[in-house]
Structure 1
């Protein structure tokens, strides 16, 4: 066997995915909220094993760590010439996504508030003003299913995301089970479609397509946070990836697609900058891109009004626990007060993000695949760089946000960026299990608080240090294997060999 470690890598990824499905089948737990309603013959399926919080935490941690190890081995073997059949890997990824959808979402209770927003919209309410508590007052079962801390929080998502949630609620009615099924099916379909689009963008090269299939379609970490957790990030991202593919031939279509992506989740606005960078030498195409994106933004937000941005503004003051900027939050609050510190830390995040972009620009430039079309290559490289820098430095970040960086990164040639993002995603996934905001046994609670509140921010800081080291290495001239070439004697001209 030419690449035995490649087979081991795939085996580890399969085992990690199997642990995800097993954890879901166990039924409601500290990782999985109940899904009231029916019908029971429809997925997602689960038993009522009532697993302990420690059990599901251990299973999800094992899945994340085994998956990360498998991906690391796969990256090493791909760099050594391993090129498994990308078609089979892609089919395997689609089967894995379907298997994950067949068990209930885990890792958070966000999908329940998505259902409530859809229920509000379907009933004529305003999810940007009303909350799940509004539904509870009306005796609605969908509102009662929503868990803390989202019971009284309006929607932070764009009108395209609200439209998806409205559609799911129209299909599911008062059944949380069915609404969530529709949402997860749409998310899984978007995840699979994104993989197919990335395969097309990678071109005919077998190794490049195998890289896409392993790092996206069969990535256990992404299958967990983007499909198995029921988040809408995969649904929003498919529009942005479509824009990457469309930008060379139709800047107008690319603008429409990236406008829809931003109207689902505003953080995907980084892709607008990336696409603009790809078209920097074509002013007419750039104007068409920006004009169509702006038109879509106006058309989608106009019906819902500026109130859709209210909760987004509130979220700019948040600082999540497992990010490196958490380490400076308390000293800044002590020095400047709560409100000023929250504003300054947001500014500090943007400054650090710009610094990371500058540090990693050379590494990213070297990772651009030469065989790819220039506009697509530059746009994908810029999207990967901007998204990764934002993830590493933003004050508020969660593991499912990482899909925005993985999608363009898998199109690039192997580089140190792979290791940086793999470390970041693994760290954040481990920090946010089991996921629900529920009382936990003392041992599990202590473990969770330690990983999320201490290991997470210090690990993120270590990744930022690694960014500096990577940038210094990228600035060094390449070393020649076997030492410098020997000078030829002028009396012994080189003779070509047959």
Structure 2
């Protein structure tokens, strides 16, 4: 057995390390088509970078190389684990923590979202309202944090929940009028949440050496997640950390699970899928189910009520958006030629929900078997993790609007399951979306890079996403056929 996985495990480690090194090297090059400038200081405070003025082609090639190398390493690691590889989880975890720290020592890349997060925090810290005011309002008042925000976010109020706004307010309080410092605090908090998630997941599987190693590889040493979940500074790391804490808490306290999942939804409303997962886990314990739902509702109401309806206005606008790289993008032109814009977008949204339900129903036996074969002993946590993995995977495959960092919500519960074919669907989806969204900034690009980015995002993305969707449907159909025939696939 050792002979079978030895080569795979060495190659896996080498490719994972290469993916992480390429990511860090790209960050060190300084502002580029992938990395917006971070005005302010002090210069001794991370993140650090040179001023190499790298070309858009170079940073695109490096980030694509990081993503593809990382994906190959993850695939080889999953194969080696299935073949019996059982590396020391403590060493992998230590390496993962070091990689997360390193990812915040270089500037965020892949989008300019962190700049508008800083502006929302600055608005909240200076008496503004991030659900009504925008970065343009800050800039008009001469605020340097507002001036740093890039297209297309200058005139967009916050779509995030009050917990996310609280994190942004804290970073702005600590960072003052320095975009550099505010962003560093935000990425540092995100890295801490990312590491805490990994440690929580490992605690959930107890002393199982191989299960802890799987978590370390799929979460903490995952170059794709280190890029979009840690370095890029998206708030998903914090929201998912709270949601995972809710999953783990359900073993002993439905009340605490409800409080935590309410907070997670108050950071990012899409984590309401975790509410459904917890409800499924408690479906036979009606009193505990009522306690969990009541606590979550109370926390959510307490968080949102002071903000009024304006907190939901931008959310309603965003519900009409369709990502370039998602399969439903292919339906936009035909439907908008037959219907008006709003009706077409409403119909696309309904199609997305129906597709989510269908994919979840078909894949349920696949994920249920993975959960049953997994290392989690507690039945409530096992059911909650399985349901969260199923619902979030179906969501990212079918949603009209989805971005690569949304996948953090999927990888976390998947790490608690046993190996299954669904792992490959997730790996392919995340790799596809990460590649489709580099270099990331909404800035003019050289013709070659622009053509590549448009092709990856606008053509490869939706058609490859459609292929993944059909793959999920075939996998689910086969699993249900095998179950009906009495075979355990």
Asked if these proteins are the same fold (TM beyond 0.5), I'd say yes
Question: Partner of 1:475: helix, strand, or coil?
Answer: helix
Residue of 366, 390, 397 corresponding to 1:392: 397
Q: Which residue of 2 aligns with 1:484?
A: none
Q: Kindly report which structure 2 residues correspond to 1:335-374, keeping only aligned pairs within 5 A, or say none.
A: 335-370=338-373, 371=375, 372-374=377-379
Give how far 1:432 is off. 0.2
Which residue does the alignment assign to 1:431? Answer: 436
The equivalent position to 1:68 in structure 2, one of 71, 88, 101, is: 71
**CA–CA separation in structure 2 for the residues paired with 1:477 and 1:339:** 42
Query: How far apart, in 2, do the equivalents of 1:471 and 1:117 lie?
Result: 42
The structural deviation recorded for 1:68 is 0.3
State the aligned residue count. 478
Other structure's SS at 2:122 match: helix
SS in 1 for 2:106: coil
Contact 2:111 2:441 in 1 (8 A): yes
Partner of 1:452: 457
1:270 Cα deviation after fit:
0.3
- Partner residue of 2:425? 420
Partner of 1:411: 416
Runs of 4 or more above 4 Å deviation: none
**Alpha-carbon separation, structure 1, partners of 2:472 and 2:456:** 22
Whether 1:381 aligns to 2:373 is: no
- Computing the radius of gyration over CA atoms, which structure comes out larger, 1 or 2? 1
What is the CA distance between 1:4 and its match in structure 2? 2.2
Distance 1:193 1:292 in 2: 23
Superposition pairs of residues 107-256 of structure 1, within 5 angstroms: 107-256=110-259
Write the deviation string for residues 10-48 of structure 1: whole angstroms up to 9, x where unpaired.
111011000000000000000000000000001000000
TM-score (norm 2): 0.97
1:463 aligned partner: 468
Distance across 2 between alignment mates of 1:233 and 1:10: 26
3-state DSSP of counterpart to 2:244? helix
In the alignment, does 2:278 pair up with 1:279? Answer: no
Provide the rounded CA distance (Å) in 1 between the counterparts of 2:352 and 2:127.
38
The alignment's C-alpha RMSD in Å is: 0.9
2:339 is aligned with 1:332: no
Alpha-carbon distance, 1:9 to partner: 0.1
Would you tell me which structure has more helix in proportion to its own residues? Answer: 2
CA shift at 1:203, angstroms? Answer: 2.1
CA deviations 1:429-482 (Å, max 9, x no partner) are: 00000000000000000010001000000000000111122113313449xxxx
Q: What is the distance in 2 between the residues matched to 1:259 and 1:379?
A: 15
Once residues 13 and 306 of structure 2 are traced to their aligned partners in structure 1, the CA distance between those partners, rounded to angstroms, is 47
Farther off after superposition, 149-158 or 301-310: 301-310
CA contact (8 A) 2:362 2:480 kept: no
- Residue 260 of structure 1 corresponds to 263
* Deviation of 1:201 (Å): 1.1
Matched, 1:42 2:41: no
Q: Structure 2: how far apart are the matches of 1:290 and 1:111?
A: 32
The equivalent residue for 1:482 is none
TM-score of the aligned structures, taking structure 1 as reference length: 0.95
Q: Does 1:291 align with 2:294?
A: yes
Matched-pair contact (CA < 8 Å) for 2:370–2:418: yes
Q: CA deviation at 1:156?
A: 0.2
CA distance in 1 between partners of 2:285 and 2:231 (Å): 41
Counterpart CA distance in 1 for 2:307 and 2:340 is: 35
SS state of the match for residue 199, structure 2? Answer: helix
Partner of 2:35: 32
The reply to whether residue 320 of structure 1 matches residue 331 of structure 2 is no
Deviations 1:247-297 (A, max 9, x none): 121000000100000000000000000000000000010001001001101
Q: CA deviation at 1:401?
A: 0.3
For residues 322 and 472 of structure 1, what CA distance do their matches in structure 2 show? 25
Counterpart of 1:87 in structure 2 is 90
State the SS of the aligned residue for 1:325. Answer: helix
User: How big is the shift at 1:339?
Assistant: 1.2
1:337 CA displacement: 1.9
Per-residue Cα deviation, 1:137-167 (whole angstroms, up to 9, x for no partner): 1000000000000000000000000000000
Counterparts of 2:214 and 2:474, CA distance in 1:
25
Query: Residues of 2 paired with 1:369 and 1:4: CA distance?
Result: 29
Offset of residue 369 of structure 1: 3.6
Aligned residue number for residue 54 of structure 2: 51
> How far apart are the structure 2 equivalents of 1:474 and 1:302?
44
